[in-house]
Structure 1
């Protein structure tokens, strides 16, 4: 699969490294071409480098791995290059005090989809710190990490599910892109618990067998 990485930060590094090792054709794109080349060299496995448009035009699947504040604008700038391509948004609109910045409007993923309306947008990979994505694989207590995927496009869901399995994780179809707001709010809550309270967010949810009460 041809994968374009839009961004050169920690999430780009962690996810692209797994996908390059899995044999995908990865191109890292950045505003700073020298930084993109350094990341590509570190990833290895014939990973290419270029500017953001080069990475987008290369992609069957593009990973949008830039700060929330830049994501929609970048998607809009590249809207023609992203048309018809799967675009995975892993951004988190979380501000100071772990505040959800999109609480009174469209989710970050919906803003990206509005900016690039012909892209097949998937919300994914936003619930975990980049160090989790560096694990090989992310398995906890013998159970692979499940990754919720929100999208309106079955073909994009299939591609994102494939890439999720390449991380050693279990893809979890989590409904339409409208549910991205729930994922982003969950990330804000988890960060509040993990960082603000040093609490175990995983302990919030009961096992599936108890989720709906007695049978």
Structure 2
């Protein structure tokens, strides 16, 4: 698969490193950091043209500017892993995935990979208590199917969590859970296992 990554921070490096079996190209303001993720580095527009799927691994506030610089994104699958969280684990940009879809109306946006801290994505694979990490995905079914294959490449289990209209719920869940983790609570203990 031809994967573009916008950004060269922790999430770009962690996920990009796991997808080394694919054709990965990176665009970032810091070209030297981008080159540590992939030998193929380009501008936003070059990377967009060369990719079928693009991971948005940027600060949430930077996404509109980068999408504008990327040019035509029609038909591309955009994976939104951004989190706009401020002090007190409050959402600073609600409905980020829906905003991305409005800024790139010809693209297919999937909200994914936003519920875990970056070091989880560096694990090969992320397995806890013998159970692979489940990764919820919100977006159109055909785009979710594409991103599901990338989730499986990480050794994780993809979960179709519904359409993009549900992405805001996932963003709010992230903020809520991060607040619990910051306070030293085991947020996962809030949920019983499925058989219960």
- Paired residues for 1:40-189 under 5 Å: 40=38, 47-80=39-72, 82-103=73-94, 107-151=95-139, 153-189=140-176
Query: In the alignment, what sits opposite 2:187?
Result: 201
The 8 Å contact of residues 79 and 119 in structure 1, kept in 2 or not, is answered as: no
Q: Calculate the TM-score normalised by the size of structure 1.
A: 0.87
- 8 Å contact from structure 2 (residues 7, 27) kept in 1: yes
Cα distance in 2 for partners of 1:69, 1:95 equals: 12
1:32 aligns with 2:18: no
Tell me the distance in 2 between the aligned counterparts of 1:172 and 1:63.
18
Task: Tell me the distance in 2 between the aligned counterparts of 1:38 and 1:24.
Answer: 16
| Matched residues, number | 196
In 2, distance between residues paired with 1:108 and 1:24? Answer: 27
Q: After TM superposition, give the deviation of residue 121 of structure 1 in Å.
A: 0.3
Task: Show structure 2 runs of 5+ residues with no match.
Answer: none
Counterparts in 2 of 1:122 and 1:11: CA distance versus 1, 3 Å = same
Specify the structure having the higher radius of gyration (Cα): 1
Contact 1:8-1:65 within 8 A present in 2 as well? yes
- C-alpha separation between the residues in 1 aligned to 2:137 and 2:131? 18
State the SS of the aligned residue for 1:180.
helix
Alignment gaps of 5+ in structure 1 = 41-46, 211-215
| Alignment root-mean-square deviation, CA | 1.2
Match of 1:10 in 2: 10
Q: CA deviation at 1:54?
A: 1.7
- The whole-number CA distance in structure 1 between the counterparts of 2:36 and 2:12 is 13
Residues in 2 aligned to 1:35 and 1:141: alpha-carbon distance in whole angstroms: 34
